Amino acid sequence: MTAGTEPALSAVLVTADRFSSIRRTVEHLRAQTVANQVELVIVRDRSASLVDAAPEELLGFNRVTVVETGPIGNVDKAAAPGMRAASGPVVAVLEDHAYPEPGWAETMIRAHRDGGWAATCSEYVNANPASPLSWANLLWAYGAWTRPARDGEAPGIARHNVAFSRDALAPLADELEDLLGRGGGLEARLREAGGRLGVVSSTHVAHINPSRLRSTIQLRFSAGRLRTGPAGAGASMAAKGPMLLRVPAGALRRLARCPPQCAARSPAGNAAGRRGRDRRRPRGPRPHRGHDRDLRVRPDAARDRLGPPGPRGGADPRRRSLTGARR
Protein backbone atom coordinates (compact mmCIF):
# COMPACT_ATOMS: atom_id res chain seq x y z
CA MET A 1 0.00 0.00 0.00
CA THR A 2 1.13 3.51 -0.76
CA ALA A 3 1.14 5.32 2.57
CA GLY A 4 -0.97 8.43 2.92
CA THR A 5 -2.70 8.19 -0.46
CA GLU A 6 -6.06 6.96 -1.68
CA PRO A 7 -6.43 4.93 -4.87
CA ALA A 8 -7.61 6.66 -8.02
CA LEU A 9 -9.00 3.45 -9.52
CA SER A 10 -10.17 0.15 -8.03
CA ALA A 11 -9.89 -2.94 -10.24
CA VAL A 12 -12.25 -5.76 -9.23
CA LEU A 13 -11.40 -9.37 -10.12
CA VAL A 14 -13.42 -12.47 -9.21
CA THR A 15 -12.03 -15.95 -8.58
CA ALA A 16 -14.02 -18.98 -7.52
CA ASP A 17 -10.87 -21.06 -7.42
CA ARG A 18 -7.24 -20.09 -6.86
CA PHE A 19 -5.10 -17.05 -7.56
CA SER A 20 -3.79 -18.76 -10.69
CA SER A 21 -7.11 -18.09 -12.43
CA ILE A 22 -6.56 -14.31 -12.23
CA ARG A 23 -2.74 -14.25 -12.25
CA ARG A 24 -2.30 -12.98 -15.82
CA THR A 25 -4.76 -10.13 -15.39
CA VAL A 26 -3.06 -9.16 -12.12
CA GLU A 27 0.29 -9.13 -13.94
CA HIS A 28 -1.12 -6.66 -16.46
CA LEU A 29 -2.48 -4.51 -13.65
CA ARG A 30 0.92 -4.49 -11.92
CA ALA A 31 2.43 -3.32 -15.22
CA GLN A 32 0.20 -0.23 -15.29
CA THR A 33 2.00 3.11 -15.47
CA VAL A 34 0.05 4.20 -12.38
CA ALA A 35 -0.07 0.87 -10.53
CA ASN A 36 0.60 2.73 -7.27
CA GLN A 37 -2.77 4.46 -7.77
CA VAL A 38 -4.66 1.20 -8.34
CA GLU A 39 -6.48 -0.73 -5.64
CA LEU A 40 -6.68 -4.43 -6.46
CA VAL A 41 -9.96 -5.87 -5.15
CA ILE A 42 -10.16 -9.67 -5.23
CA VAL A 43 -13.54 -11.29 -4.69
CA ARG A 44 -13.09 -14.92 -3.78
CA ASP A 45 -15.17 -17.88 -2.71
CA ARG A 46 -14.79 -18.25 1.04
CA SER A 47 -13.69 -21.86 0.56
CA ALA A 48 -11.03 -20.87 -1.97
CA SER A 49 -7.52 -19.75 -1.10
CA LEU A 50 -4.91 -17.38 -2.45
CA VAL A 51 -2.14 -19.62 -1.13
CA ASP A 52 -0.65 -19.91 -4.64
CA ALA A 53 -0.05 -16.14 -4.78
CA ALA A 54 3.58 -15.27 -4.13
CA PRO A 55 3.97 -12.09 -2.02
CA GLU A 56 5.77 -10.24 -4.80
CA GLU A 57 2.83 -10.80 -7.16
CA LEU A 58 0.74 -8.43 -5.07
CA LEU A 59 3.31 -5.69 -4.60
CA GLY A 60 3.21 -2.31 -6.31
CA PHE A 61 -0.50 -1.60 -5.86
CA ASN A 62 -1.93 1.21 -3.78
CA ARG A 63 -3.57 -1.51 -1.70
CA VAL A 64 -4.93 -5.04 -2.01
CA THR A 65 -8.39 -5.79 -0.63
CA VAL A 66 -9.88 -9.27 -0.46
CA VAL A 67 -13.64 -9.72 -0.18
CA GLU A 68 -14.91 -13.16 0.83
CA THR A 69 -18.28 -14.41 -0.37
CA GLY A 70 -20.27 -17.61 -0.41
CA PRO A 71 -20.12 -20.04 -3.35
CA ILE A 72 -19.73 -18.21 -6.66
CA GLY A 73 -22.26 -19.43 -9.20
CA ASN A 74 -22.33 -16.34 -11.41
CA VAL A 75 -19.08 -14.44 -11.93
CA ASP A 76 -20.85 -11.29 -13.14
CA LYS A 77 -23.02 -11.00 -10.03
CA ALA A 78 -20.15 -11.99 -7.75
CA ALA A 79 -18.38 -8.74 -8.65
CA ALA A 80 -21.04 -6.76 -6.74
CA PRO A 81 -19.53 -7.08 -3.23
CA GLY A 82 -16.14 -6.11 -4.64
CA MET A 83 -17.62 -3.01 -6.24
CA ARG A 84 -19.21 -2.02 -2.94
CA ALA A 85 -15.91 -2.51 -1.12
CA ALA A 86 -13.91 -0.49 -3.66
CA SER A 87 -12.23 2.69 -2.42
CA GLY A 88 -11.39 4.46 -5.68
CA PRO A 89 -13.62 7.01 -7.41
CA VAL A 90 -13.37 4.84 -10.54
CA VAL A 91 -14.40 1.19 -10.15
CA ALA A 92 -13.39 -1.15 -12.98
CA VAL A 93 -14.50 -4.77 -13.24
CA LEU A 94 -12.18 -7.01 -15.27
CA GLU A 95 -12.45 -10.60 -16.43
CA ASP A 96 -9.71 -13.16 -15.82
CA HIS A 97 -9.09 -13.41 -19.58
CA ALA A 98 -8.88 -9.66 -20.26
CA TYR A 99 -5.53 -7.87 -20.25
CA PRO A 100 -5.36 -4.05 -20.13
CA GLU A 101 -2.43 -2.36 -21.83
CA PRO A 102 0.04 -0.52 -19.53
CA GLY A 103 -1.54 2.91 -20.00
CA TRP A 104 -5.13 1.72 -19.54
CA ALA A 105 -5.59 2.69 -15.87
CA GLU A 106 -4.01 6.13 -16.32
CA THR A 107 -6.20 6.83 -19.36
CA MET A 108 -9.42 5.67 -17.67
CA ILE A 109 -8.68 7.73 -14.55
CA ARG A 110 -8.12 10.84 -16.65
CA ALA A 111 -11.21 10.18 -18.79
CA HIS A 112 -13.47 9.92 -15.75
CA ARG A 113 -11.92 12.94 -14.09
CA ASP A 114 -12.27 15.13 -17.16
CA GLY A 115 -15.44 13.71 -18.72
CA GLY A 116 -17.68 13.06 -15.73
CA TRP A 117 -18.79 9.70 -17.14
CA ALA A 118 -21.09 7.30 -15.28
CA ALA A 119 -19.44 4.37 -17.06
CA THR A 120 -16.90 3.86 -19.81
CA CYS A 121 -15.39 1.08 -21.84
CA SER A 122 -12.14 1.11 -23.74
CA GLU A 123 -11.37 -0.26 -27.16
CA TYR A 124 -11.03 -4.05 -27.38
CA VAL A 125 -8.46 -6.00 -29.37
CA ASN A 126 -8.13 -9.71 -30.04
CA ALA A 127 -5.59 -11.44 -27.79
CA ASN A 128 -5.73 -14.70 -29.80
CA PRO A 129 -6.19 -13.44 -33.38
CA ALA A 130 -5.02 -16.54 -35.26
CA SER A 131 -8.45 -18.19 -34.95
CA PRO A 132 -11.36 -17.04 -37.16
CA LEU A 133 -13.82 -18.21 -34.49
CA SER A 134 -11.97 -16.07 -31.98
CA TRP A 135 -12.74 -13.07 -34.18
CA ALA A 136 -16.37 -14.17 -34.47
CA ASN A 137 -16.67 -14.29 -30.69
CA LEU A 138 -14.90 -10.96 -30.22
CA LEU A 139 -17.22 -9.29 -32.72
CA TRP A 140 -20.21 -10.97 -31.09
CA ALA A 141 -19.48 -9.50 -27.68
CA TYR A 142 -17.47 -6.35 -28.51
CA GLY A 143 -18.08 -5.64 -32.17
CA ALA A 144 -19.14 -2.02 -31.68
CA TRP A 145 -16.06 -1.27 -29.60
CA THR A 146 -13.32 -3.11 -31.50
CA ARG A 147 -10.64 -1.12 -33.29
CA PRO A 148 -11.27 1.41 -34.64
CA ALA A 149 -13.89 2.41 -32.07
CA ARG A 150 -15.60 5.80 -32.06
CA ASP A 151 -14.44 7.91 -29.13
CA GLY A 152 -16.82 9.89 -26.93
CA GLU A 153 -20.38 9.59 -25.67
CA ALA A 154 -22.24 6.49 -26.82
CA PRO A 155 -25.78 5.11 -26.47
CA GLY A 156 -24.32 1.90 -25.06
CA ILE A 157 -21.05 0.36 -23.95
CA ALA A 158 -19.70 -3.17 -23.53
CA ARG A 159 -21.01 -5.35 -20.70
CA HIS A 160 -17.63 -6.55 -19.46
CA ASN A 161 -14.30 -4.94 -18.62
CA VAL A 162 -15.97 -1.61 -17.92
CA ALA A 163 -15.06 1.27 -15.58
CA PHE A 164 -17.78 2.91 -13.48
CA SER A 165 -18.02 6.09 -11.47
CA ARG A 166 -18.32 5.11 -7.82
CA ASP A 167 -20.67 8.02 -7.22
CA ALA A 168 -22.94 6.86 -10.05
CA LEU A 169 -23.09 3.36 -8.53
CA ALA A 170 -23.93 4.63 -5.04
CA PRO A 171 -27.74 4.82 -5.40
CA LEU A 172 -27.76 1.29 -6.87
CA ALA A 173 -25.53 -0.36 -4.28
CA ASP A 174 -28.18 -2.74 -2.93
CA GLU A 175 -29.31 -3.78 -6.41
CA LEU A 176 -25.95 -4.52 -7.99
CA GLU A 177 -26.25 -8.32 -7.90
CA ASP A 178 -29.42 -8.18 -10.00
CA LEU A 179 -28.24 -5.38 -12.27
CA LEU A 180 -24.93 -7.08 -13.10
CA GLY A 181 -26.56 -10.24 -14.42
CA ARG A 182 -27.11 -10.68 -18.15
CA GLY A 183 -30.02 -8.47 -19.10
CA GLY A 184 -29.88 -6.87 -15.65
CA GLY A 185 -30.09 -3.34 -17.00
CA LEU A 186 -27.29 -1.57 -15.09
CA GLU A 187 -26.47 0.54 -18.14
CA ALA A 188 -30.11 1.60 -18.55
CA ARG A 189 -30.42 2.52 -14.87
CA LEU A 190 -27.32 4.69 -15.04
CA ARG A 191 -28.73 6.52 -18.04
CA GLU A 192 -32.14 6.96 -16.37
CA ALA A 193 -30.34 8.66 -13.48
CA GLY A 194 -28.78 11.15 -15.89
CA GLY A 195 -25.45 9.38 -16.26
CA ARG A 196 -23.46 9.51 -19.47
CA LEU A 197 -21.81 6.50 -21.08
CA GLY A 198 -18.56 6.91 -22.97
CA VAL A 199 -16.04 5.05 -25.11
CA VAL A 200 -12.36 5.75 -24.46
CA SER A 201 -10.72 4.62 -27.67
CA SER A 202 -7.25 5.88 -26.78
CA THR A 203 -6.57 2.74 -24.73
CA HIS A 204 -7.47 -0.90 -25.10
CA VAL A 205 -8.01 -4.22 -23.39
CA ALA A 206 -6.82 -7.43 -25.08
CA HIS A 207 -9.49 -10.12 -24.80
CA ILE A 208 -9.06 -13.91 -25.06
CA ASN A 209 -11.96 -15.51 -26.96
CA PRO A 210 -13.13 -19.09 -27.57
CA SER A 211 -11.38 -20.36 -30.68
CA ARG A 212 -13.25 -23.60 -31.38
CA LEU A 213 -16.83 -24.25 -32.46
CA ARG A 214 -17.59 -26.51 -29.49
CA SER A 215 -16.47 -23.93 -26.92
CA THR A 216 -18.26 -21.18 -28.86
CA ILE A 217 -21.58 -23.05 -28.76
CA GLN A 218 -21.13 -23.89 -25.09
CA LEU A 219 -20.39 -20.26 -24.22
CA ARG A 220 -23.32 -18.83 -26.19
CA PHE A 221 -25.74 -21.45 -24.91
CA SER A 222 -24.68 -20.78 -21.32
CA ALA A 223 -24.95 -17.04 -21.88
CA GLY A 224 -28.47 -17.51 -23.20
CA ARG A 225 -29.48 -19.54 -20.15
CA LEU A 226 -28.08 -16.86 -17.84
CA ARG A 227 -29.92 -14.17 -19.76
CA THR A 228 -33.31 -15.89 -19.63
CA GLY A 229 -32.82 -16.84 -15.97
CA PRO A 230 -35.63 -18.60 -14.12
CA ALA A 231 -38.17 -17.47 -16.72
CA GLY A 232 -36.53 -19.64 -19.36
CA ALA A 233 -35.91 -22.66 -17.14
CA GLY A 234 -39.33 -24.18 -17.82
CA ALA A 235 -39.54 -23.30 -21.50
CA SER A 236 -40.35 -26.08 -23.94
CA MET A 237 -37.88 -27.37 -26.51
CA ALA A 238 -40.07 -25.77 -29.18
CA ALA A 239 -39.29 -22.41 -27.61
CA LYS A 240 -35.63 -23.21 -26.99
CA GLY A 241 -34.99 -24.69 -30.45
CA PRO A 242 -34.74 -21.38 -32.37
CA MET A 243 -32.24 -20.09 -29.82
CA LEU A 244 -30.10 -23.19 -30.21
CA LEU A 245 -30.01 -22.65 -33.97
CA ARG A 246 -29.23 -18.95 -33.63
CA VAL A 247 -26.04 -19.63 -31.65
CA PRO A 248 -23.92 -21.25 -34.41
CA ALA A 249 -25.70 -19.16 -37.07
CA GLY A 250 -24.74 -15.96 -35.25
CA ALA A 251 -21.13 -17.08 -34.98
CA LEU A 252 -21.03 -17.85 -38.71
CA ARG A 253 -22.53 -14.44 -39.58
CA ARG A 254 -19.86 -12.70 -37.56
CA LEU A 255 -17.22 -14.95 -39.07
CA ALA A 256 -18.31 -13.76 -42.52
CA ARG A 257 -17.77 -10.16 -41.37
CA CYS A 258 -14.40 -11.01 -39.84
CA PRO A 259 -11.92 -8.19 -40.52
CA PRO A 260 -8.86 -8.85 -42.71
CA GLN A 261 -6.62 -8.96 -39.63
CA CYS A 262 -8.18 -12.24 -38.51
CA ALA A 263 -6.23 -14.09 -41.15
CA ALA A 264 -2.96 -12.51 -40.07
CA ARG A 265 -0.96 -13.33 -37.02
CA SER A 266 -0.34 -10.41 -34.71
CA PRO A 267 2.88 -10.88 -32.68
CA ALA A 268 1.54 -8.73 -29.84
CA GLY A 269 -1.82 -10.48 -29.87
CA ASN A 270 -0.28 -13.94 -30.05
CA ALA A 271 1.99 -13.09 -27.15
CA ALA A 272 -1.03 -12.03 -25.09
CA GLY A 273 -2.81 -15.20 -26.19
CA ARG A 274 0.08 -17.35 -25.04
CA ARG A 275 0.05 -15.59 -21.70
CA GLY A 276 -3.69 -16.13 -21.42
CA ARG A 277 -3.40 -19.84 -22.17
CA ASP A 278 -0.50 -20.34 -19.81
CA ARG A 279 -2.06 -21.31 -16.50
CA ARG A 280 0.97 -23.05 -15.05
CA ARG A 281 2.12 -22.21 -11.57
CA PRO A 282 5.40 -20.35 -11.24
CA ARG A 283 8.46 -22.48 -10.75
CA GLY A 284 9.97 -22.86 -7.36
CA PRO A 285 8.66 -23.82 -3.94
CA ARG A 286 4.98 -23.42 -3.29
CA PRO A 287 4.18 -20.43 -1.04
CA HIS A 288 2.90 -21.26 2.42
CA ARG A 289 -0.52 -20.26 3.71
CA GLY A 290 0.93 -17.47 5.76
CA HIS A 291 0.92 -15.26 2.67
CA ASP A 292 -2.82 -14.90 3.05
CA ARG A 293 -2.23 -12.98 6.25
CA ASP A 294 -0.52 -10.24 4.23
CA LEU A 295 -3.86 -9.44 2.57
CA ARG A 296 -6.69 -7.39 3.99
CA VAL A 297 -9.65 -9.77 4.28
CA ARG A 298 -13.05 -8.18 4.90
CA PRO A 299 -16.17 -10.35 4.61
CA ASP A 300 -18.87 -8.69 2.51
CA ALA A 301 -21.32 -8.90 5.41
CA ALA A 302 -19.30 -6.32 7.30
CA ARG A 303 -18.41 -3.94 4.48
CA ASP A 304 -21.30 -1.51 5.06
CA ARG A 305 -20.43 -1.17 8.74
CA LEU A 306 -16.68 -0.97 8.40
CA GLY A 307 -16.26 0.83 5.08
CA PRO A 308 -13.06 0.69 3.06
CA PRO A 309 -10.00 0.60 5.34
CA GLY A 310 -8.08 3.82 5.77
CA PRO A 311 -4.31 4.22 5.73
CA ARG A 312 -3.97 2.50 9.12
CA GLY A 313 -6.47 -0.28 8.44
CA GLY A 314 -9.49 1.38 10.07
CA ALA A 315 -12.46 3.11 8.53
CA ASP A 316 -11.76 6.42 6.88
CA PRO A 317 -14.26 8.96 8.23
CA ARG A 318 -13.69 11.24 5.25
CA ARG A 319 -14.94 8.75 2.67
CA ARG A 320 -18.55 8.61 1.64
CA SER A 321 -19.99 5.10 1.35
CA LEU A 322 -21.85 3.73 -1.65
CA THR A 323 -25.09 4.12 0.23
CA GLY A 324 -24.39 7.85 0.64
CA ALA A 325 -23.69 7.98 4.38
CA ARG A 326 -20.50 9.71 5.43
CA ARG A 327 -18.16 7.33 7.23
Domain ranges of the chain: 9-130+143-211+266-306
Cα gap 286→301, rounded to integer Å: 31
Interatomic CA distance for residues 324 and 327, integer angstroms: 9
- For 300, the 3-state DSSP assignment is helix
Q: Are strands 90-93 and 9-15 parallel, antiparallel or unpaired?
A: parallel
- pLDDT at res. 4: 60
* CA distance linking residue 18 with residue 287, whole number of Å: 13
Per-residue pLDDT, 180: 93
Q: What's the pLDDT score for residue 48? A: 79
Q: What is the structure's pLDDT at 242?
A: 57
Q: Which contiguous run of DSSP H or E holds residue 327? A: none
Per-residue pLDDT of the chain (327 residues; tens, 9 = 90+): 555 699 999 999 999 989 999 999 999 999 999 999 999 999 999 887 888 999 999 999 999 999 999 999 899 999 999 999 999 999 999 999 999 999 999 999 999 999 999 999 999 999 999 999 999 999 988 999 998 999 999 999 999 999 999 999 999 999 999 999 777 899 999 999 999 999 999 999 999 999 888 867 876 666 655 555 544 445 555 555 555 455 445 545 555 555 555 444 343 444 444 444 444 444 444 433 333 333 444 434 333 323 333 333 343 433 334 444 444
61 Cβ contact partners less than 8 Å away, ≥ 6 residues apart: 1, 29, 30, 35, 36, 38, 39, 40
φ, ψ (nearest 5 deg) of residue 160: -120, 160
Angle between helices 237-256 and 132-142 (to 10 degrees): 110
Domain 9-130+143-211+266-306 top-level CATH class:
alpha beta
